[in-house]
Structure formats: structure tokens, C-alpha cells
């Protein structure tokens, strides 16, 4: 059974469009997650991981990923006080 180029294009295009839309949604969702975590830290001055999880309402793994990415970018830094870890905004 031979398939013309037009038929092949029609079969392949919709999945590619769907994949692109999913990737765009995931990227937007990630940036919103980073913004929420950063907003919690900025509003409190310093925040522990528990504070960020409770206030932001995000799942634990999302908060961990967001905090790690923000620390790696140098936007926030880790501070230890009395054996407890806090995150504060870099100046």
C-alpha cells in the first residue's frame, strides 16, 4: 500500500502539533511554579521548605525542583540558623 506525501503529512502533523502544545504548557507551568516559590520567599523574607510547601500549595517534589533551580541560578540562597535551613532572596 503506497502512501502519498500529502497523506503522510496529514498523518504526522497533528501529533507534532500536540507535542509542541504540551511542551509549551509544561514550560509555562514550570515558570509559574518558580514564580510562586519565589513570591513566598520574598513575602516572608526567609522561608523554610515547609513554609514554602504549605503557603504555595504546590506538591513537595515541585517545590524541591523549584528551590534547587532558583539556588542554581543564584536567585535565592541557602541559610542555616539553629540547625534549620532557610531560603532567602539574593541581593
Domains in the chain, ordered, with CATH?
Answer: 5-89 (1.10.10.10)
Average pLDDT, the chain: 88
- The yes-or-no verdict on residue 28 having pLDDT over 80 is no
pTM of the complete model = 0.68
Read off the pLDDT of each residue in 27-34 and give the average, rounded to a whole number: 86
Rounded CA-CA distance 41/56 in Å is 10
Q: How confident is the model at residue 30 (pLDDT cuts 50, 70, 90)?
A: confident
> pLDDT exceeding 70 applies to what percent of the chain?
99
% residues pLDDT > 90 (the chain): 55
Q: Please state, as a whole number, how many other Cβ atoms lie within 10 Å of the Cβ of residue 70.
A: 19
Other CB atoms within 10 A of residue 50 CB: 11
Amino acid at each position: 500500500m503506497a502512501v502519498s506525501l500529502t497523506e503522510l503529512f496529514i498523518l504526522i502533523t497533528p501529533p507534532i502539533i500536540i507535542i509542541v502544545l504540551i511542551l509549551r504548557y509544561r514550560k509555562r507551568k514550570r515558570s509559574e511554579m518558580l514564580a510562586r516559590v519565589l513570591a513566598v520567599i520574598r513575602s516572608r523574607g526567609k522561608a523554610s521548605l515547609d513554609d514554602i510547601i504549605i503557603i504555595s500549595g504546590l506538591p513537595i517534589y515541585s517545590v524541591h525542583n523549584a528551590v534547587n533551580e532558583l539556588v542554581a541560578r543564584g536567585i535565592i540562597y541557602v541559610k542555616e540558623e539553629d540547625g534549620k535551613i532557610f531560603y532567602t532572596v539574593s541581593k
